[in-house]
Amino acid sequence: MVCFSSQFYVLLLLLYAVTFHKGACSTNMKLSCNEKDRSLLLLFKHSVKDHSNKLSSWSNGEDCCAWKGVLCDNTTGRVTRLDLNQQYLEGEISLSLLQIEFLTYLDLSLNDFTGLTLPPILNESLPTPSTLHFNSSNLEYLDLSFNEDLHLDNLQWLSQLSSLKCLNLSEINLENETNWLQTMAMHPSLLELRLASCDLVNMSPFVKFVNFTSLLTLDLSGNYFDSELPYWLFNISSGIFHIDLSFNYLKGRIPKSMLNLPNLKSLRLANNELTGPIPEWLGEHEGLQQLVLSENLFEGPFPSTLGNLSSLTELDVSSNFLSGNLTDNIGQLFNLRTLFIGGSLSGVLSEKHFSKLFNLELLALNSGFSFDIDPKWIPPFQLREISLKNTNLGPTFPEWLYTQRTLGALDVSSSRLSSINEDKFWSFVAKIRAINLSFNAISADLSNVTLKSDYIMLVGNNFTGTLPRISANVFFINMAGNFLSGPISPFLCHKFSRKSALGYLDISYNSLTGVIPDCWENWRGLTFLFIGSNKLEGEIPPSIGLLNEIIVMDFKKNNLSGEFSLDLSNMKSLVFINLGHNCFSGVVPTKMPESMQVMILRSNQFSSNFPQQLCNLPSLIQLDLSQNKLFGSIPPCVFNISSKDGERRIRHFGFSIELFWKGRELGYRDTGLLRNLDLSSNNLSGEIPRELFGLTQLLFLNLSRNHLTGNIPMKIGGMKNLESLDLSNNHLSGTIPEAVSNLTFLSYLNLSYNDFTGQIPLGTQLQSFDAWSYVGNSKLCGLPLPKNCSILDVGDRRVQGGANKSQIESLYLGMGVGFAFGLWGVWGSLFLSRAWRHKYFLLLDHVADWIYVFIVLKINKFVR
């Protein structure tokens, strides 16, 4: 028993000793971060605005190796990596970071930095980043991309980073850096260079050689290179794999010197202005895997040699001017995963065009192809997305598409479909996330259909019946331009077992009837609502005010009525409302949110003064109150309407609306670019306030068909952006100010049927309009009117606006006296001097002889 205890204690002591020793070793190996590195990191933090408190761990009491985004070497304790990607940081980037001696990796991308700054302790001796000496010669990876407000005028500070291998400055403004190419060439070890969307303009197209001996990836997409493909591009490292020059303004042809890049795997030249045929020699790039040439000006046939590129995984030649047929050897590209073809290609496609496309996942054939495919054909692929828009796919939805069980997106818009197998079709598309059947002639009854896709486009078909049911997951549905009928209550008042995801609803241009139901509480996530151009009636119900996230509401061209007294001021996101062409009455609605940009209330029965509350909407850029019953004067506060302010950020809408401008109703797609004030066809009176002509950003102004009086002030010349001006059918008077001829963008002018007087100001601008722009002004003269301005008219015009009766009488008296003195000066001299009389009559004889000879010569020439 004693022996056992002794052994036990000995073992226990040994175990304790080993454990203690290991613990001591572990303690000795754990190193705190270097004090110099800590100081430099804190200098960086000092220049950062951290509103989200992402750098809360960066404090003096913490080991900096434990700070968020910081990684240290386990042996030395020196900082080697700093990754603060997408941390919502603002402010300036302190270049103190580049003095961290062993830093190899720095990622500050996807933040909101606005500039570079020097460390405070260095400001006096080192005034610019280019003169700052960096210790971080070990830095290999630098990513500052997607700091969209970061402007860098000079990249010379990069030249000291001699070990740099990967540089990403995409989405940073470098428009003032004209020597970027020379700066980048100072890094021969660079493997990856990304300068996408940097506003670069100088590509140095005539430079022969750039020292990119190690470069593997070059991304210069989304810049402004208005030139041909540069020489240096094809003398670059022969080992380069990836080149992306998409979304530039590159011109000319693809040079054959591209064959100097034998290892090229990815070539992206989409969205440029390249011309000529797509070269046949591209088929010699046997290792090419991605070839994207879409959205250019290529013409000619589809090159058959592309069917030899068996390594291709992505091929995109869509939206060009290619013509002819698609070669069937395209079906031999067994590695192909993405195939996009469009333009003006045509011809008949058969199973042979798809025979070995075993790996195909994305297929877009958006051209005038027809199909000769056996209904029982089973394709060798299972697609994730397919687009056959603008093809001749119809008249019946093809059977082979039903074999695609993994589809996430289907687009067969404008493909001449007219019939579907309803029992089969709706259950098939219910499993597809996004469907587009628009602009066909499909006839089907939707009354008993339940739509389950997230994204649904059924625009411009012949669908009939009542509105279909939808599932709660539907986010976007557009059924405009069909023949749907009946009430909308069953659709809107249907309750889901869970919250509806619907954000976009368009059921306009149908034949829907009844009232708008009061059950909008089911659709609180709705942001876009279009129910115009139907036969709906009654008032808009109060629950519409529950749509707190709504951006656009369009109720135009129905039979809606009542006083629009809803308070929409709490709809903080609402920017667009269209109540036009209805029967609303009462006062003009004014309870609108400050976010409002477009108000279209035309062609109703609103009867009130122009409400001054509308002047206080700070974002309003379009106001249409035409064809109502407004009375009184236009208040001077219209100057507050933000059309005068071109600096505010405004929403740009992706849908088209019909607006009455330039004398007719026109469709406009991007209304965010327009600024319009239309008060025409009302009962407004009084003078046009001078303040209105201070709206210098206004593009369209229509005050026609009112009872306005007074003159047009010279101030109108400051409306430099005006494109359409209609002041017709009022009682405006005075002369047309010469300042109107300064409106160089004016393409529509109507001043007819007023009381304007005098001569139309001379200048190509005002004489370029037709006479009807000025008719109905009986005292107006000059081109383009047929009425010439007499001396009296000109005299009247010059003395208008302040000359009294005595001044006019004095003018005519002076003219009479001057005429008398002038006449006596001639005839008195002839009467008193015989020599003058002799010379005068001799001159008359010579003139008569000259006129005789001239007439005889002209007659002889005419006879000949």
- Note the pLDDT tens digit of each residue in 473-493: 999 999 999 999 999 999 999
| Average of per-residue pLDDT across 326-348 | 93
Residue 800 covered by a domain: no
CATH, residue 91: 3.80.10.10
User: Residue 141 belongs to what H/E stretch?
Assistant: strand 141-143
- What spatial distance separates the first Cα and last Cα of the chain, rounded to whole Å? 155
Which pair of tokens denotes residue 190?
Answer: 């660079």
135 φψ region: left (φ > 0), alpha (ψ -120 to 50), beta (else): alpha
pLDDT at 734: 94
pTM above 0.85, yes or no: no
Mean pLDDT score of the chain: 84
Q: Pick the closest to residue 537 from 512, 505, 507, 510 (CA basis).
A: 512
User: Helix or strand or coil: residue 717?
Assistant: helix
pLDDT of 855 strictly over 50:
no
825 by Cβ neighbours in 10 Å (0-12 / 13-18 / 19+) ranks as exposed
384 burial level (CB within 10 Å; 0-12, 13-18, 19+): middle
* 152 within a domain of the structure (yes/no): yes
Is residue 94 situated within a structural domain?
yes
- Give the closest residue to 691 by CA, choosing from 647, 772, 767, 636: 636
Q: Domain end: 173, 198, 223, which one?
A: 173
* Distance separating alpha carbons of residues 451 and 362, to the nearest angstrom: 24
Which of 202-206, 522-526, 738-742, 857-861 is the least confident region? 857-861
Confidence grade of residue 859 (pLDDT, cut at 50, 70, 90): very low
Cis peptide bond upstream of 395, omega within 30: yes
Nearest to 307 by CA among 289, 288, 333, 278: 333
- CA gap 171, 665 in Å, rounded: 40
* Per-residue pLDDT band at 17 (split at 50, 70, 90): very low
Of 18-22, 130-134, 614-618, the one with minimum mean pLDDT is 18-22
* Percent of the chain surpassing pLDDT 70: 82
More confident residue, 836 or 448: 448
Lowest mean pLDDT among 52-61, 668-677, 687-696: 668-677
Instruction: Identify which of 285, 351, 293 has the alpha carbon closest to the alpha carbon of residue 312.
Output: 285
pLDDT of residue 320: 77
pLDDT higher at 2 or 506: 506
Q: What is the pLDDT of residue 655?
A: 60
The number of distinct structural domains making up the chain is: 2
Separation CA 141–CA 134 (nearest Å): 15
As a whole number, mean pLDDT of residues 99-103 equals 92
Which residue type, as a one-letter code, is found at position 156? Q
Average pLDDT over residues 797-802: 41
pLDDT 10s digits, 174-214:
999 888 998 898 888 999 999 999 999 988 888 888 888 89
Which of 152, 173, 194 terminates a domain? The answer is 173
Give domain status of residue 67, yes or no. yes
Range of the structural domain that residue 818 is part of: 805-863
- The H or E element that residue 756 is part of is strand 755-759
Q: Is the pLDDT of residue 804 over 80?
A: no
Any domain includes 413: no
Instruction: Using a pLDDT cut of 90, give the percent of the chain over it.
Output: 62
**pLDDT tens-digit series, residues 382-410:** 999 999 999 999 899 999 999 999 999 99
- What's the pLDDT score for residue 818? 47
At 809, the pLDDT band (50, 70, 90 cuts) reads very low
Between 570 and 643, name the one with better pLDDT.
Answer: 570
Q: Determine, yes or no, domain membership for 108.
A: yes
Q: Is residue 242 within 8 Å of 266, Cβ to Cβ?
A: yes
pLDDT at 652 over 60: no
Prior bond of 784 cis (ω within 30°): yes
Q: Has residue 418 been placed in a domain? A: no
- Tell me the pLDDT band of 852, cut-offs 50, 70 and 90: very low
Structure confidence by residue, pLDDT tens digits, 357-382: 999 999 999 999 999 999 899 999 99
Q: How far apart are CA 272 and CA 244, in angstroms?
A: 12
Whether residue 616 is predicted with pLDDT greater than 90 in this model: the reply is no
pLDDT at 303 over 60: yes
Report the sign of the C-alpha dihedral through residues 598, 602, 606, 609, in that order: positive
Which of 143, 173, 203 delimits the end of a domain? 173
**What are the helix (H) ranges across 262-351?**
none
Q: Which residues pair with 677 in a beta bridge?
A: 623, 701
**Mean pLDDT within 320-334:** 91
H or E segment to which residue 82 belongs: strand 79-83
Higher pLDDT, 543 or 650: 543
Q: Is 566 within 8 Å of 591 (Cβ atoms)?
A: yes
Average of pLDDT values for 526-534? 96
Q: Which residues of 843-857 are buried (b: 16+ CB within 10 A; e: fewer)?
A: eeeeeeeeeeeeeee
